[in-house]
Amino acid sequence: MQWHTPIGYKVLNGKIVVYEEHRKIVEQIFRDYDSGISALRIAKDLKDRGIKNAHDRVGWSHASIGRILENYNYLGTEDYEQIIDKELFERVQKKREQVRTRGAGESTDRTKGKGSYSAECCDVQSADAPTAIFSHTVRE
């Protein structure tokens, strides 16, 4: 198993230290998400700007952004210097939880696409969001 330091850090003389260039990226990711920008949109922006990830590639996804946003090492540990303050980190965690639980309790069938359709009439409900999906809600 290969281990690597999270983006924002590097190993120097056997110690994990903050890598300032990447620290700015991590801080921006947290600020953007906190301001309401989706993980998918953040990933697209980083790709479009040619920003390299922790693997030194321009390869970002909503999943990789999610892993950054949920990485407690950014709060500071015995091995990692703090990059993100606790208040910002906690706000982001609350927003991520809200996104995960949005619509909980409804039975939906979702496939990628633009807009949201009701199973009763299949009229477009919302197609203005760049990350909108088709959604068929089963009503009894």
Instruction: Give per-residue pLDDT as tens, 63-75.
Output: 999 999 999 999 9
Q: What average pLDDT does the structure give for the chain?
A: 80
Local confidence band at 134 (pLDDT 50, 70, 90 cut-offs): very low
Burial string for 68-78 (b: 16+ CB within 10 Å, else e) reads: bbebebbeeee
Q: For the chain, give me the number of helices (H) and strands (E)?
A: 4, 4
Mean pLDDT of all residues in 82-91: 98
Neighbours of 12 (CB within 10 A): 10
- At residue 119, φ and ψ (nearest 5 deg) are -65, -25
Looking at the chain, the whole-number percentage of residues with pLDDT higher than 70 is 71
Instruction: Using the structure block, give the residue that is written with the tokens 């949201």.
Output: 116
Neighbours of 4 (CB within 10 A): 10
Q: Would you state the pLDDT for residue 130?
A: 41
Which sequence spans correspond to the domains of the chain?
A: 9-101, 105-140
Q: Would you state the pLDDT for residue 54?
A: 86
Maximum distance among all Cα pairs of the chain, rounded to whole angstroms:
64
Q: How many residues does the chain have?
A: 140
Local confidence band at 56 (pLDDT 50, 70, 90 cut-offs): confident
Local confidence band at 122 (pLDDT 50, 70, 90 cut-offs): very low
CA–CA gap between residue 65 and residue 67 (Å, rounded): 5
Q: Would you state the pLDDT for residue 103?
A: 61
Comparing 117 with 34, which gets the higher pLDDT?
34
**What does the block give as tokens for 48?**
């479009």
Nearest to 91 by CA among 104, 75, 79: 75
Q: Would you state the pLDDT for residue 2?
A: 45
CA–CA gap between residue 131 and residue 136 (Å, rounded): 16
CATH class (in words) of the domain with range 9-101: alpha beta
pTM of structure: 0.70
